[in-house]
Every structure is written in C-alpha cells, then in structure tokens.
Amino acid sequence: MSEPAEIPRVKAPGGAVIPEILQDEVVRRFAEAGVMIFDAVWPAAVISGLHDAYGAVYANYHHDREFADALAVGDKRTMITITVDGPFNDPGLYANPTVFPLISKLLGDDVILGSFVSVTSLPGSLDQEAHLDMPLLFEAERVSPELPSYSLTLVIPLVDMNAMNGTTAFFPGSHRVIADEPPGSEPVAPDVPVGSALLFDARVWHGGTPNRSAAPRPVLYNTYQRSWFRDTVNFLSQSPLVMDPAEWARIPDQHRFLFDWARPPQD
Ligand SMILES: O=C(O)CCC(=O)C(=O)O
C-alpha cells in the first residue's frame, strides 16, 4: 500500500462550516492520510489571547525538570493539563464550527473530549522519538488498520509551529500499515501557523521536532475520542480534563455531551 507523501491541507472558509457536500471528501482524505491541516480557522488575535492566558498561568512549567502533575514527554518537553476556563472555555475552540463536524463524522455521535492539555517544548529541546501516543487498541496490530478512528488529537498552535519553534513531524498513512515501529521513510514536518490547526489519528506515527527558538513552544493538544475509549497510559499523575462546576455551567447545552467526564455529580 503506498503511503500519502504529504499532509493534506484544507482552507477553512473563514472559520465557518465546511459545506456539507464537501465534508465527506474531506473526511475521506483525512481517513487516507490520518493527519490533516486546517488553515485560517481562527483570527491571530484569538490565539494571541489564548497564548497570553496560557503564559499567565502555566509559565511555572517552563523549567527543565519533572513535575508531579505534568508528564515529561521527551527532552525539555512537557504535557500540561490546561484548566478549561476563561478564554479556553469557548465553543469556538472545543466545538469549532469548521473542524468539529468532521471530528463528529469520524468518531460518531458519542464523541467526547477526552483530554485538554498543552505540549510545551522549551528552547533547546531535541527531537522527540517517533511514537504513537497510546498503544493500539488490540494487541494484534493487523486488526488496527481496518478500524475506523477512535481517538483523534486536535493540535492548536499557540505560537507558529515551524522549523525554528519546533513542529510535529508525521508519517502520513502510517495508521494503515501493519507495523510496531515507524516507517523507514522521511517524516513530513509541516508549518502550522497560528490560527491553523492540525488533526491526527492516534494510530499515526509522529514526533516533535527541536525548538531552536529562544521561547517556549506551547500547543494545545486536545484529544477527542469515542466515549468508550480510555487513554490508559498518559494520565497516571494528572487529570486529563479539569473544569470546575461554574465553568461547566457555561457550556451551551448542545455541547455538554463533550464534557461528560467533567459533569458535576448533581447533573
Ligand atoms: O511536541 C510535539 O510537537 C509533539 C508532541 C507529541 O507528539 C507528544 O507529546 O506525544
């Protein structure tokens, strides 16, 4: 089976819904590559506001050490749980009109937001080893390529992802190949500017590239999954989704199913 050599890119129609007649074709291209970039989803000012909010609360993680409530995911690279509040509690972010209908088509109506985190690489971080974020669903890998998606991660850069700041390199199509190691081919290391987003299937091999800039490179790294699926490896010391009841009350009714795991007991 030949692997797609590139990551398909879709231009979001000004942050609006992709017309229904095009959605199936976009979903088909995603299913083939297992990774896709959506350009111009948010105005730069929205992301700059998120970057400021992130910096105000999470800069204390910008140290090259281990943390009790965050996961070291490589050299100078940490996965930090981001509390869903303030500007992060925004349907335009977690149920984005351009991207979410496609996520919903790929994962079905029982999709939930499984985790809301950042992956932040510090200046001087090295290449992250190519990996899958979690083991395949069944030990018999040959089953895996046959399955529809069950876990998708939406990467939202808070600074440009590129060769200077660091990006994530992918092996497009690697979810359709039976293997317990990354393909021997060269990965694709895309530029994903602020305002764009990248969606990938949990079965696609990938790894972060070095941060050669002088500033941390935070990206939101939010995972949507079928409601029965659990990530049993990445959240042993931190919560995947943190949101207090007052914030939960701000979620519009039609999106509450996404936050099923954060639902206060009385509801
Ligand atoms: O830092 C990145 O660009 C990728 C992060 C990643 O793949 C991970 O932490 O699993």
Q: Which residue's alpha carbon is nearest to atom 5 within ligand 1?
A: 208
Please indicate, yes or no, if residue 2 is contained in any of the structural domains: no
Cα 116 to averaged position of ligand 1 atoms, centre (Å): 14
pLDDT tens digit string along 108-162? 999 999 999 999 999 999 999 999 999 888 866 678 888 999 999 999 999 999 9
- Total domains present in the chain: 1
Please indicate, yes or no, if residue 197 is contained in any of the structural domains: yes
Torsion sign over Cα 12, 223, 124, 206: negative
Residue ranges with strand state E in the chain? 9-11, 35-39, 70-74, 77-81, 111-115, 117-121, 151-157, 168-170, 197-201, 206-208, 217-226
pLDDT tens digit string along 63-102? 999 999 999 999 999 999 999 999 999 999 999 999 999 9
Cα 20 to averaged position of ligand 1 atoms, centre (Å): 32
CATH of the domain at 227: 2.60.120.620
pLDDT tens digit string along 19-71? 999 999 999 999 999 999 999 999 999 999 999 999 999 999 999 999 999 99
Quickly list DSSP for 166-179: B-EEE-TTGGGS--
CA 157 to chain centre: 10
Query: Among the atoms of ligand 1, which is closest to the Cα of residue 209?
Result: 3
Quickly list DSSP for 199-222: EEETTS-EEE----SSS-EEEEEE
Please indicate, yes or no, if residue 43 is contained in any of the structural domains: yes
Q: 185: domain range?
A: 9-256
Cα 119 to averaged position of ligand 1 atoms, centre (Å): 6
Q: Are the C-beta atoms of 248 and 94 separated by less than 8 Å?
A: no
Q: Which residue has the tokens 């896709």?
A: 36
